């Protein structure tokens, strides 16, 4: 029972990560019709925003170490701690969540520039070419990050308060030893929040309504005198930002390195396709479904019966779904049907 509960939590957690990335991917596909292979790289860029922010906070000066009395010893102390002895250390402790302040404007800007500078020229080109150009773009972004930050993963830690594990077993009346890392719970709720916000934005605002109309029939919306292009640019920037924020929040779970995006990219594409290209609900649902399935497949009991199943289960599910349901779980007719 405990094990199953933990697996459900684990599945939700994995699923949230998949769903969040797949959501941005679908948003871009549904609005702009672009198959964006650079989305994983954008996730990675977000993670490196957190790294940069952390580095900025830690810019240090050498000061005399008062604890050493025998000789003059110097230690590196961040300027923040020198200037603001009260809140400096706290700020540094909270660097990961705070780095969203940096990530939001940076990612919005990157998204805007990419869309205006490159993506918009690819609206009417074949999907294969879109895949290729964004794939090339992803390589460029990766290599730039590698040149700046090096090839090794950069570990970042969550704030001390939530660095440990939560006694989730107690909350639900299960055993004492059922615990789960705090930060993963936070990531789960963060994903839920963002997913909810995106749906609310599209469903309940006039802006979102126009975007949804544009997803259905771009030309007609254009004929009504609405500059749908401008709105889509903003949607692309938003999707970039979501990917970036997901990356920021993921840093305490996985130390970011330059090719972390590629690992997520393939999985998130599988998620999007299983959900149905262009269906936001489908992407989220498929994300959680696959996360759950993978989590249960990696239980030792399951692995004993079917060795190696945890490695292939996602792809297996994807293959079965695509063969049975041509448009994925929630795909609409007319999208990518050719």
Residue 24 in tokens: 């941005």
By beta-carbon proximity to other proteins, the closer residue of 65 and 129 is 129
- Segment 4-43, which members bind other proteins (CB under 8 A)? 35
- Name the β-bridge partners of 61: 77
149 forms part of the interface with other proteins (CB under 8 A) = no
Provide the b/e sequence for 82-94 (b: ≥16 CB within 10 Å).
Answer: eeeeeebeeebbb
Closest CA relative to residue 185, chosen from 12, 19, 46, 24 = 12
Total residues at interface with other proteins (CB under 8 A): 42
155 forms part of the interface with other proteins (CB under 8 A) = no
**Which of 108, 144, 174, 210 contacts other proteins by CB under 8 A?**
144
Tell me, rounded to whole angstroms, the distance of Cα 101 from its chain centroid.
16
Shortest CB 159 distance to other proteins, Å: 35
Closest CA relative to residue 201, chosen from 238, 233, 228, 236 = 238
**Which of 21, 27, 34, 270 contacts other proteins by CB under 8 A?**
270
95 forms part of the interface with other proteins (CB under 8 A) = no
Shortest CB 305 distance to other proteins, Å: 13
299 forms part of the interface with other proteins (CB under 8 A) = no
- Report angle CA 234, 186, 17 to the nearest 5 degrees: 55
277 forms part of the interface with other proteins (CB under 8 A) = yes
Burial grade of 337 (CB within 10 A; 0-12, 13-18, 19 or more):
exposed
Segment interacting with other proteins, rule: CB under 8 A, options 47-55, 146-154, 217-225, 233-241: 146-154
Closest CA relative to residue 246, chosen from 19, 9, 1, 4 = 19
117 forms part of the interface with other proteins (CB under 8 A) = no
Whether the CA torsion 282, 288, 294, 299 is positive or negative: it is negative
Shortest CB 142 distance to other proteins, Å: 7
128 forms part of the interface with other proteins (CB under 8 A) = yes
Number of helices (H) and strands (E) in the chain: give both, helices first: 16, 4
Give me the residues that bind other proteins (CB under 8 A), please: 35, 118, 121, 125, 127-129, 131-133, 135-140, 142-144, 146-147, 151, 262, 266, 269-270, 273, 277, 307-308, 311-312, 315-316, 318-319, 322-323, 326, 336-338
């Amino acid at each position: 029972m405990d094990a199953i509960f933990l697996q459900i939590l684990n599945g939700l957690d994995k699923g949230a990560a998949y769903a969040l990335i797949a959501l941005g991917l679908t948003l871009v596909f549904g609005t702009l019709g672009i198959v964006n292979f650079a989305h994983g790289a954008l996730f990675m860029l977000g993670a490196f925003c957190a790294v940069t922010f952390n580095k900025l906070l830690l810019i240090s000066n050498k000061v005399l170490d008062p604890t050493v009395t025998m000789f003059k010893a110097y230690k590196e102390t961040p300027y923040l701690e020198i200037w603001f002895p009260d809140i400096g250390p706290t700020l540094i402790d909270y660097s990961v969540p705070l780095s969203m302040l940096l990530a939001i404007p940076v990612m919005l800007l990157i998204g805007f520039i990419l869309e205006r500078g490159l993506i918009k020229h690819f609206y009417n080109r074949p999907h294969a070419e879109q895949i290729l150009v964004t794939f090339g773009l992803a390589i460029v972004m990766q290599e730039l990050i590698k040149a700046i930050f090096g090839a090794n993963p950069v570990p970042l830690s969550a704030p001390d308060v939530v660095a440990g594990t939560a006694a989730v077993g107690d909350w639900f009346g299960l055993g004492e030893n059922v615990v789960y890392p705090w930060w993963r719970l936070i990531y789960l709720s963060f994903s839920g929040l963002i997913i909810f916000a995106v749906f609310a934005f599209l469903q309940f605002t006039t802006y979102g309504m126009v975007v949804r109309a544009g997803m259905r029939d771009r030309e007609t919306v254009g004929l009504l005198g609405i500059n749908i292009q401008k709105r889509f640019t903003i949607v692309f920037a938003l999707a970039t930002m979501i990917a970036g924020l997901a990356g920021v929040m993921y840093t305490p779970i996985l130390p970011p390195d330059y090719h972390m995006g590629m690992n997520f990219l393939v999985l998130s594409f599988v998620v999007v396709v299983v959900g149905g290209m262009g269906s936001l609900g489908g992407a989220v649902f498929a994300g959680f479904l696959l996360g759950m399935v993978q989590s249960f497949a990696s239980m030792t009991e399951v692995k004993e019966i079917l060795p190696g199943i945890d490695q292939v289960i996602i792809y297996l599910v994807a293959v079965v779904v695509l063969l049975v349901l041509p448009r994925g779980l929630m795909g609409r007719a007319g999208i990518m049907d050719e």
